[in-house]
Amino acid sequence: MTTAAAPMVEVWRGDLLESLHCGHAAICDDTGQVIQAWGDVAGLIYPRSSCKMIQALPLLASGAAEAQGLGSEHLALTCASHQGAAIHTTRVQAWLKDLGLGDDDLRCGPQEPPDRDAAHALIRADAAPCQYHNNCSGKHSGFLTLNRHLGTGPDYVEPDHPVQKAVRAAFEDVTDAASPGYGIDGCSAPNFQTTVQGLARAMSWFATASDRGDGQSKAAVALTEAMMRHPELVAGEGRACTRLMRLLDGRGAVKTGAEGVFVAILPQRRMGIALKIADGATRASESAITALLVALGELDADNPEVQALMSPTLYNRRGIAAARVAPVPALLS
């Protein structure tokens, strides 16, 4: 990725601009064309977890989801970067059991759950976290479901495995470009390179999927609707994805990714958004995506919950307001 990043989010302490987060962002219309851009939208990025709905397309388009009887909660979990809370892990465990599989069949690795109650429960039980606690365990349960349907080998995260070949084909289709390479994600699955423009184009493709009748488009509609219906499963209480989708109230689906990536699918506006903060800061990606949704008229800037996401106050260890985060005015114009 090039360094031609645009200023996007500021951090003020007193009357001094203490930090400035720069990045790249694109909004695409229903034809997949960029209608607004910041920074270098042609530079390569890893979408990280922001593309989980793309990675889930083969699960549905192949018929595997229908054959396994998956419902909207399963589909929301395939797109999730969840907290490892009980509402997430009990569903993943039940899903694996229905497949006749268990924790050892996952390839995402164990993760200490960010959810406080779940983490405390492990401490009290003197137990180690399992793979189903991993924030990507829903996506991996989807991979296992597709793998079962295809009848292929157990190492479904290998780049040359039929599951990942199907994911890559779907990824290149919806981004409308061949991916030049991949990196290994935190959950061990390959993460295919694209541009901010390509990622935004993919989100606009999701936003207009109801116009089309092919199997992959029908899959996109089902995944988007599942995310909007179950925002608590896509992330968790207190998380930006869950909070933003509740504020959007069925008008859009959003998804974060590691290292400062965020996307939005807006079916009613027939638009897609993608952004990448150059320094990878989550506080900046959350502020920037909220600001873009405000600028499009999807969120009310005067709503206190919107303000808390877009321009949060930073408190010191005594609980005193010490600094503030704010999007640059250009994002709101």
Tell me the DSSP string of 108-148: S-----SSHHHHHHHHHTT----GGGSTTHHHHHHHHHHHH
Distances, alpha carbon 31 to alpha carbons 64, 111, 169, 253, 271, in Å: 30, 40, 20, 19, 9
Tens of pLDDT, residue by residue over 291-319, are: 999 999 999 999 999 999 999 999 999 99
Mean per-residue pLDDT over the chain, rounded: 97
Catalogue the E-assigned strands of 222-320.
253-257, 261-266, 271-277, 313-315
Tens of pLDDT, residue by residue over 98-152, are: 999 999 999 999 999 999 999 999 999 999 999 999 999 999 999 999 999 999 9
In angstroms, rounded to a whole number, what is the distance separating the alpha carbons of residues 126 and 251?
43
Could you tell me which residues come within 8 angstroms of residue 2 by beta carbon, excluding any fewer than 6 positions away? Answer: 40, 43
Question: pLDDT class for 67, splitting at 50, 70, 90?
Answer: very high
We report the CATH number of the domain holding residue 276 as 3.40.710
In angstroms, rounded to a whole number, what is the distance separating the alpha carbons of residues 115 and 96?
21
Higher pLDDT, 242 or 1: 242
The proportion of the chain whose per-residue pLDDT surpasses 90, expressed as a percent, equals 99
302 inside domain: yes
pLDDT value at 3 more than 60: no
The number of distinct structural domains making up the chain is 1
Distances, alpha carbon 184 to alpha carbons 18, 53, 187, 303, in Å: 34, 18, 8, 39
Tell me what the mean pLDDT of segment 25-46 comes to: 98
206 inside domain: yes
146 inside domain: yes
pLDDT value of residue 240: 98
Question: pLDDT class for 333, splitting at 50, 70, 90?
Answer: confident
State the Cα torsion 232-236-238-243 to the nearest 10°.
-40
212 inside domain: yes
CA angle, 171 as apex, 281 and 228 as ends, to 5°? 65
Distances, alpha carbon 79 to alpha carbons 51, 138, 209, 243, 330, in Å: 8, 7, 17, 16, 31
pLDDT value of residue 2: 46
First to last CA, the chain: 26
34 inside domain: yes
Could you tell me which residues come within 8 angstroms of residue 101 by beta carbon, excluding any fewer than 6 positions away? Answer: 144
Domain that holds residue 218: 6-332
> Is the pTM above the cut of 0.85?
yes
1 inside domain: no
In angstroms, rounded to a whole number, what is the distance separating the alpha carbons of residues 65 and 74?
9
